[in-house]
Amino acid sequence: MFTNLDVVKDVKTVHDEPPVTDLVTLARNGDKQAWDALVERYAPLIWSICYRHRLGAADAADVSQSVWLRLVDHLDTIRDPAALPGWLATVTRRECLRLLGARGPLADGHVMDAEAAPDEQAGPADEELLAAERRAALREAFGDLPPYGQRLILLLIEDPRVPYAEISARLGIPVGSIGPTRRRCLDKLRRHPAVAALINTDGGAA
C-alpha cells in the first residue's frame, strides 16, 4: 500500500532534484548531461514496468532501448514536459504488450524464460524498482501541487523539525489550519493519476 508515510518519505528524496521540465528543455537543446540525467532518473521506471510484464533481461533491454529512441524522436513535440514520466510509462507498457503480442499465445505471461524466473534475489530487486517507480510518480504529482502546498510539505519534513508556530509565520496561515491543509495536500498527491495507478496496483487492481 502506498501510504501517506510513503509519500512523505519519497518527497524527501525527490524535492532537491532538478525539475523534469528543466531537464527536458536542456536535453532539447542538446545538453548531454541533461539527457543522461533523464535516463538515470527514469530508467528504473521503465525496467519496473518491464519486470511487471515478466520480460526477461534481454527483452527488457530491447523495450528500454525502443522507449528511449522514441523519446529522442518526440522530445521536441512533448507539449507538457512535466508529464514525461506518464509518457514514458505509457510508451513502455505499449512496447511490452507489442513484444508479448508478437510472440503469440505462449507469451501471455504464464510461461517465463530463465532470465525472468523468480529467484532468491528477486525480492530486493523488485522492491528497488517499485520504489523508483513510486518516486517517479511522486515527482509528477508533487509538481502539480499549488506552490503553497509544496512549501508546506517541505517545511513539515525538514530535519530538525520546524515548529508549527514558525511554519505559521513563514506561510502566513493559522496554526490550526496546518494539519488539515497537510492532509488535503497528501490526499491530493495520492489521488493524482500517476500515484493512484500505483495504489491500485498495490491493491491488486487489474
Tell me how far apart the alpha carbons of residues 39 and 68 are, in angstroms, rounded to a whole number.
8
Q: pLDDT tens, position by position, for the chain (206 residues)? A: 455 545 555 665 555 567 788 889 999 999 999 999 999 888 888 888 888 888 888 999 999 999 999 999 999 888 888 778 888 888 999 999 999 887 765 444 444 443 343 444 444 445 656 666 677 777 777 878 888 898 898 888 887 889 999 999 999 999 999 999 999 998 888 888 777 766 655 544 33
Which has the closest alpha carbon to 11: 124, 153, 126? 153
User: In the structure grid, which three cell numbers stand for residue 192, read together?
Assistant: 493524482
**Which residues are CB-neighbours of 195 under 8 A, at least 6 positions away?**
2, 7, 134, 137, 138, 141, 189
User: In the structure grid, which three cell numbers stand for residue 101, read together?
Assistant: 503480442
pTM score, whole prediction: 0.56
Instruction: Name the amino acid, one letter, at 93.
Output: R
Domain spans of the chain, in order of start = 4-202
